[in-house]
Amino acid sequence: MVLPMTEASALSHKQIEDLITESLTARQNSYSPYSKFRVGAALQTVDGRVYQGCNVENAAYGGAVCAERTAFVKAISDGHRRFVAIAVSCDYNNFITPCGICRQFMNEFGKSLEIFFVNDDRTYKRAILEDLLPYAFGPEDHHD
Ligand code: THU
């Protein structure tokens, strides 16, 4: 479900614009010789740090890693666990939404994550992860 633009974001206008810029910058490092589909992501932590990620493909196609997961893995391996938003941009003049694997991966670290789908002209749509992955199986479903 895409949120109406009137619905308030946890981010300021400047933070959104900065996150969009970082996702477009991250796209430049995309390693995508097979799909030729460059994707960039910028992930903001609760303490205001931003991690960039790009998609990284592999000659064995199934080994590809999406931009969103690259950004998450970089941040998590640096010790971050709590995130407020991620912006995702691609090469085509279109909005893309995270794949199913990325939705599940991101859900591990909070279902209220804001996701910005960024177009080439910097326009964007916004959603909350929980709306993209309803009835998710998550960490709270694990019992000892
Ligand atoms: N891809 C991403 O990096 N993020 C998405 O949200 C959708 C797809 C990548 C994976 C692959 O390298 C290429 O785009 C084509 O699917």
Distance 73 CA to ligand 1 centre (A): 16
- CA–CA separation, 118 and 17 (whole Å): 10
Confidence of residue 7 (pLDDT cuts 50, 70, 90): confident
Helix pair 13-27, 67-77: axis angle to 10 deg: 110
Does residue 101 fall inside a structural domain?
yes
| Residue 114 in this model has a pLDDT that exceeds 90 | yes
How many domains does the chain divide into?
A: 1
| Residue 79 in this model has a pLDDT that exceeds 80 | yes
Confirm if 68 and 106 have CB atoms less than 8 A apart: yes
Ligand 1 nearest-atom number relative to CA 55: 3
Does residue 7 fall inside a structural domain?
no
Does residue 144 fall inside a structural domain?
no
Least confident of 20-24, 28-32, 83-87, 120-124: 120-124
CATH of the domain at 62: 3.40.140.10
| Residue 144 in this model has a pLDDT that exceeds 90 | no
Full residue range of the structural domain in which residue 97 is found: 13-133
Q: Any alpha helices (H) in 55-132, and if so which ranges?
A: 67-77, 100-107, 129-132
Does residue 140 fall inside a structural domain?
no
Q: CB within 8 A of 141, min separation 6: which ones?
A: none
Confidence of residue 4 (pLDDT cuts 50, 70, 90): low
- Residue 6's pLDDT is 60
Q: Which residues are catalytic?
A: 68
Q: Which of 112, 74, 90 is nearest to 37 (CA)?
A: 90
| Residue 1 in this model has a pLDDT that exceeds 80 | no
| Residue 5 in this model has a pLDDT that exceeds 80 | no
What is the signed CA dihedral for 13, 16, 22, 28, rounded to 10 degrees? -110
Mutate to test the pocket of ligand 1, among 39, 88, 92, 133 (most ligand atoms within 8 A of CB): 39
Does residue 53 fall inside a structural domain?
yes
Please state the pTM of the whole predicted model.
Answer: 0.95
